[in-house]
Amino acid sequence: MTGKGRCWLLACVLVAVPPAFAQDAPLDSPKDIAKDIVSDQEQIWTSPFRIKRQNAKWWLIFGAATGALIATDRFTSQQLPKTGHQVAFSRDVSQLGAVYTLVPLAGGLYLTGALTGGSKLRETGLLGGEALVDSLIVSEVFKAATGRQRPLEGDGGVHFFHGSDAFPSGHTIGSFAFASVIAHRYHDNKPVVVLAYGLATMVGAARFGARQHSASDIMAGGVMGWFIGRQVSERRRAGGRSPVKGWLLPQVVPQVQPSDHSYGVLLAWHP
């Protein structure tokens, strides 16, 4: 996808996601959700200035691993078989991590939770959509700033500042952001955690197999996505979200009256 096409995609997602998850909420709720995304971006971009001793080692490990992969990217990319079948198959698998796949998936979680009364599932879909918007913004900024070539472009040297858009992998950052939200929300359910991260890893591997990205593009996308998903999830757990979420996520209470053979559902909002 060209840079212009991704800009249009970003604009569409920014316009579509808040109303999609706020279809039964007050009219001003999309604005509040947009404010949450702005707050997320502030926390994401200022995070390097809030490094503490206990998490500094992880920044160093991430930086060293990414640097080592960048230094060997040209070699590792050339080790892949150059068959049309491999590239086509990997490209098809990697579409699991495309924005047009992940956004409907987040919406599906939201609607399923709404229809079944599962407030946690509904909220997970909401947070997943928010994390996807955050990851799309971050990846587009980095792509524009680094201008890195893809393995099949130019002389295969995957050079930076050559006007391309490889770093980081957009499919990978989105997949890991969404997976991170699910894993943090359902951290006590190991099969769910393994499945979420397993699918995200498969997307990253497929982007490498399709020769659309170098190993460092995928590494950076995966770590950034995980961090974004954690940021969104922990902000919710800490109670730092706007009051409108109380309107979006009402408590569902079944009501049964055997005496007059009636039943219903009570929605209790706690803004």
193, 243 in Cβ contact below 8 A? no
Dihedral (C-alpha) 150, 151, 156, 162: value to the nearest 10 degrees? 10
The CA-based diameter of the chain, rounded to the nearest angstrom, is 79
168, 224 in Cβ contact below 8 A? yes
Q: Confidence class of residue 270 from pLDDT cuts 50, 70 and 90?
A: very low
Q: What is the mean pLDDT of the chain?
A: 82
pLDDT, tens digit, 9 for 90 and up, residues 198-239: 999 999 999 999 999 999 999 999 999 999 999 999 877 765
pLDDT, tens digit, 9 for 90 and up, residues 5-22: 555 555 555 555 555 554
Check residue 141 and give its pLDDT: 96
Query: CA 5, CA 255: separation in Å to the nearest integer?
Result: 50
Q: Which token pair is 74?
A: 């040209």
64: containing domain: 3-268
Prediction pTM value: 0.79
Q: Read off the pLDDT of each residue in 99-116 and give the average, rounded to a whole number.
A: 92
In this predicted structure, the answer to whether residue 68 has a pLDDT above a threshold of 80 is yes
pLDDT, tens digit, 9 for 90 and up, residues 136-148: 999 999 999 999 9
In this predicted structure, the answer to whether residue 25 has a pLDDT above a threshold of 70 is no
Check residue 7 and give its pLDDT: 55
Check residue 45 and give its pLDDT: 93
In this predicted structure, the answer to whether residue 271 has a pLDDT above a threshold of 60 is no
Check residue 255 and give its pLDDT: 54
Count of the separate structural domains present in the chain: 1
Check residue 117 and give its pLDDT: 86
Query: CA 72, CA 65: separation in Å to the nearest integer?
Result: 11
128, 178 in Cβ contact below 8 A? yes
